[in-house]
């Protein structure tokens, strides 16, 4: 569900992704590794991107639930 998926890059390092209705997605562009990743954003919460030596290594989520 929230696992980052690698995006296939074109020869010129561009990519093509479509917008999914009703979803918010996060794209991480890692110029150091020449890679791109896409993942779902939580409905209520934060997506925290972690790097090591300037390269994308991990994403953590802080997910909350609204109580009525």
What would the pLDDT profile of 10-51 be if each residue is shown by its tens digit? 888 888 888 889 989 899 999 888 889 999 998 888 999 999
Q: Answer whether residue 16 is part of any domain.
A: yes
- Let me know if 36 is exposed, middle or buried by CB neighbors in 10 A (0-12, 13-18, 19+): buried
pLDDT in tens, 52-68: 998 999 999 998 877 87
Q: Which domain holds residue 59?
A: 5-63
Q: Specify if 35 maps to a domain.
A: yes
3-state secondary structure of 48: strand
Q: Supply the pTM of this predicted model.
A: 0.78
pLDDT at 15: 86
Residue 68 forms part of a structural domain: no
Kindly indicate the confidence band of residue 1, based on its pLDDT and cuts at 50, 70 and 90: low
Q: What is the pLDDT of residue 58?
A: 93
Domain count, the chain: 1
Position 55 in a domain: yes
């Amino acid at each position: 569900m929230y696992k980052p998926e690698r995006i296939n890059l074109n020869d010129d390092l561009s990519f093509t992704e479509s917008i999914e209705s009703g979803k918010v997605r996060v794209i991480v562009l890692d110029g150091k590794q020449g890679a791109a990743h896409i993942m779902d954003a939580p409905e209520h919460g934060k997506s925290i991107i972690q790097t090591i030596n300037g390269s994308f290594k991990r994403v953590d989520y802080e997910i909350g639930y609204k109580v009525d």
